[in-house]
Amino acid sequence: MDDIQEIFDKAYDLSDKISKDLKELEELIWKNYQLPIDAKINFPQGVLRRAENIRIFLPFINDGVLKTNLSYHLMLADFYDWFLNRFDISLTGQEMLIKDAICLYGNLCAAVVKALAEKKGVKPCIRHLFEKGIINEKLKGDLEWLWNTRNNEHIEGLEEWEFKKYSLDDYKRASDTWKLLMGSLLSSNPRSKGVTDGQ
């Protein structure tokens, strides 16, 4: 039990130190903006998965270009997950970051369901996978919610302020929807049910 407490104490001490050091660095750079200070922070290795390791989990996609591009965008999803779990941004800035992450997951899910169902429009593709028994009703509803939320990326079509509109719970729902879709596709073998990406 003491060892667990020591781990928690060390983690909080480190996060507090890093926060103070980062704030000091930013203040130093801003106060001396006329100087060419190029003090970049090394990003921790291992946070972002390698593309070839991600592609392994997409066996239901035959199109090599699509599979590779999906893996690249999932590396960005890894970054969002890390950033949202490590930084306390708060307020509207965090909401916009959450929205961007949700839109990313919406685009990822859309690319997969459209490739498999080969129908016009994302929602008809979702319904097709549901009717084929590839996804259940809950996942169907989550995918439709995700696509509806993703469509908010078209700023010119918004009819109200995006204030207090996106939460970490929404981000988690989007992330979980992607994971559930992957789990359903990996376990159901879409090609055996007449669903294919057309390759």
Residue 195: its pLDDT value, please?
A: 65
Tell me the three state secondary structure of residue 48.
coil
Q: Residue 105: pLDDT above 60?
A: yes
- The rounded distance, in Å, linking the Cα atoms of 109 and 107 is 6
What letter would DSSP give residue 143? H
Bigger pLDDT: 190 vs 130: 130
**Phi (first) and psi of residue 39, to 5 degrees:** -95, 80
Please report which confidence band the pLDDT of residue 193 belongs to, taking 50, 70 and 90 as the band edges: low
The size of the chain, in residues, is 199
Q: What is the mean pLDDT of the chain?
A: 93
Residue 119: its pLDDT value, please?
A: 87
Q: Which residues of 108-132 are buried (b: 16+ CB within 10 A; e: fewer)?
A: bbbbbbbbbbeeeebeebbbbbbee
Q: Hey, what domains does the chain have and what are their CATH numbers?
A: 1-41 (no CATH), 45-193 (1.20.120)
What letter would DSSP give residue 160? S
Cβ(132)–Cβ(118) under 8 Å? Answer: no
Q: Residue 194: pLDDT above 60?
A: no
- And the tokens for 51? 């593309």
Query: What pLDDT, in 10s, does the model give residues 35-80?
Result: 999 999 999 999 999 999 999 999 999 999 999 999 999 999 999 9
- And the tokens for 169? 């719970």
Q: Biggest alpha carbon distance in the chain?
A: 63
Residue 61: its pLDDT value, please?
A: 94
What letter would DSSP give residue 132? T
- And the tokens for 197? 């990406």
The mean pLDDT value for 131-153 works out to 96
Query: What pLDDT, in 10s, does the model give residues 1-27?
Result: 569 999 999 999 999 999 999 999 999
